[in-house]
């Protein structure tokens, strides 16, 4: 039986690890590369880290699948778009509420990502 509560906890831990990966790569690279190039590389590194952690550790899917990788990329870019949109919306409604905007945007995008990863990207077939 699947324990969704444990999966959610592992999902947040995996997200934290992916974010640390993103920030670490970016912090190192922006000293040597243009900011946008550094950010693109760090985002890709975090995406790969997140994919591997979510597939093998969070949702325990061990079968290789190229379609999962494509679906994962789609969901991550969708979550990124929602994160940016919600962040900007909160800041438009409440100028200066940067921390609140960050929290709300991350929670909504993260919730959507978890649901999509669990029931679409890595679903047991």
Domain range list for the chain: 1-60, 62-125
Give me the mean pLDDT over the 104-112 stretch: 90
Query: Encoding tokens for residue 8?
Result: 């959610």
Query: Encoding tokens for residue 109?
Result: 């995008």
110-124 pLDDT, tens per residue?
899 999 998 999 886
Length in residues, the chain: 125
Query: Encoding tokens for residue 76?
Result: 């991550």
DSSP states of 47-86 as a string?
HHHHHHIIIIIIS---S--HHHHHHHHHHHHHHHHHHHHH
What does pTM read for this prediction? 0.79
Q: Answer whether 50's CB lies under 8 Å from 15's CB.
A: yes
2-33 pLDDT, tens per residue?
788 999 999 999 999 998 998 899 889 989 99
Which residue in this structure is represented by tokens 């969708």?
Answer: 78
């Amino acid at each position: 039986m699947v324990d969704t509560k444990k999966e959610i906890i592992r999902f947040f831990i995996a997200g934290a690890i992916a974010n640390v990966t993103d920030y670490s790569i970016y912090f190192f690279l922006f000293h040597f590369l243009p900011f946008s190039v550094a950010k693109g590389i760090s985002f890709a590194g975090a995406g790969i880290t997140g994919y591997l952690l979510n597939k093998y550790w969070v949702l325990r899917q061990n079968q290789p699948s190229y379609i999962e990788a494509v679906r994962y990329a789609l969901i991550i870019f969708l979550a990124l778009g929602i994160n940016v949109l919600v962040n900007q919306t909160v800041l438009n409604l409440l100028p200066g509420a940067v921390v609140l905007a960050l929290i709300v945007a991350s929670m909504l995008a993260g919730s959507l990502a978890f649901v999509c990863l669990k029931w679409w990207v890595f679903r047991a077939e």
